[in-house]
Amino acid sequence: GAVVSQHPSWVICKSGTSVKIECRSLDFQATTMFWYRQFPKQSLMLMATSNEGSKATYEQGVEKDKFLINHASLTLSTLTVTSAHPEDSSFYICSARASYPYGYTFGSGTRLTVV
């Protein structure tokens, strides 16, 4: 089945630094990648949608200059949290939409802690 590999699984960084999260589709071409954020005991909130080769579409309230998304190829999408602050600490999950019957495939998530 379709697999999305997400790295790192967890990261601790200092306030003010940047962190890059990678999602790779291993056995299919992910034309669209979705990036979600999940705070404790909350649901997944869509941050942005990225299509290969074009600019990402950000949801209302998500700062595009802070959360940089690159989807340069059909198998790799990255999310960079720039100038991270403690309030950015969260669980970040990517999801790729693949052709039927795979549907939506989720990465394993990245636990970001900003200290």
Partner 1 sequence: QKEVEQNSGPLSVPEGAIASLNCTYSDRGSQSFFWYRQYSGKSPELIMSIYSNGDKEDGRFTAQLNKASQYVSLLIRDSQPSDSATYLCAVNNPNSGYALNFGKGTSLLVTP
DSSP state of 6: E
Dihedral pair phi/psi, residue 88, rounded to 5°:
-85, -5
Residue of 86, 87, 88 lying closest to 68 (CA atoms)? 88
Q: Which is nearer to partner 1, 8 or 103 (CB)?
A: 103
DSSP three-state, residue 86:
helix
Question: Which residue number, 18 or 99, has a Cβ lying nearer to partner 1?
Answer: 99
Max Cα–Cα distance, the chain, nearest Å = 42
Interface residues with partner 1 (CB under 8 A) are 6, 32, 34, 42-46, 49, 57, 91, 93, 95, 97, 103-104, 106-109, 111
Supply the minimum distance, in Å, between the C-beta of residue 86 and partner 1: 19
Q: Smallest distance from the beta carbon of 16 to partner 1, in angstroms?
A: 26
Question: Which residue's CB is nearer to partner 1, number 20 or number 97?
Answer: 97
